[in-house]
Structure 1
Amino acid sequence: MDAVKVSSTDARYTQNIHIRQFELVADEPVDVDGNDAGPKPTELLLGSLGACKAITLKMYAGRKGWPLERVDVELTEGKAGDRLQIEAALHLEGELSDEQKQRLLVIADKCPIHKMLSANVDIHTVLADA
């Protein structure tokens, strides 16, 4: 099971995110009284989804021996009524056939983060012991 620890800083909204040996920073932009010291949490979420899709495609193409040289994913989020919508536009570079591109389009939606975000997920927030 993956574990992440998030710790507040002395700055108003700035948070340190500890993941294994890595440390990331999340914050809010200046226009909402943040320090803009790092991406917003929503941007980190979109980045996680994009990275997951790109990694999944590179792994799949590599196993198949397909000439996928580069994957860029552009993500945007918005709303349709009361539902959040995320669009992920895939830019695939390499000498790929139309059939390979269509298969990669399907595979992109099988990445773990896509599955997590589109599943029925229960999130339990509890008070930890001091």
Structure 2
Amino acid sequence: MSGVVVAENGQGRYQQAVTVGQHHLIADEPVSMGGGDAGPAPFDLIMAGLGACTSMTLRMYAERKGLALTHVSVALSHEKITLDGVARDRIERTITLAGDLTPEQRQRLLEIANKCPVHRALTQSFVIESTVTI
């Protein structure tokens, strides 16, 4: 299990210190939500994880299959939508693949992108167990 610790850092109304192993990040809400915009908002971090996982998964697959993939870029955006009368979160993911790839290879890479671990986790139901400590 990977370990992440998030705690208020006292530097802003919503600003959080995020520790992921040896890495330190700041999370915050944008000014429009009452934050100081000192770091990515929570949904931005989710999208960053999805984008990174997508790109890494495609790179690993291309290397294993010897594909002429020279560069991967993943652009993501988030919005709230109503689907069949139910409020939902929607992430739009646009994957740009550079290299001398056939249409069939590009289609296969899209299929592989949809199999990245973060994509799979986000499209399934999570089990989140929470406890409160003193």
Instruction: Tell me the TM-score normalised to structure 2 length.
Output: 0.91
Alpha-carbon distance in structure 1 between the residues aligned to 2:103 and 2:32: 44
Deviating above 6 A after TM superposition, structure 1's stretches of 4 or more consecutive aligned residues are none
Letter in 2 for 1:63: R
* Match for residue 105 of structure 1 among 107, 110, 117: 110
In the TM superposition, what is the alpha-carbon distance from 1:50 to its structure 2 partner? 0.7
Name the counterpart of 1:18: 19
Q: Secondary structure at the match of 2:68?
A: coil
- Tell me how many residue pairs correspond in the alignment: 129
> Greater share of strand residues, 1 or 2?
2
TM-score, normalised to structure 1, is 0.94
1:21-46 Cα distance to aligned partner (Å, 9 max, x none) = 00011001112221111010111111
Give the unaligned 5+ runs of structure 1: none
CA RMSD of aligned residues (A): 1.0
**Conservation of the 8 A alpha-carbon contact between 2:68 and 2:99:** yes
Q: Give identity over the alignment, percent.
A: 43
Segments of 5+ residues of structure 2 without an aligned counterpart are: none
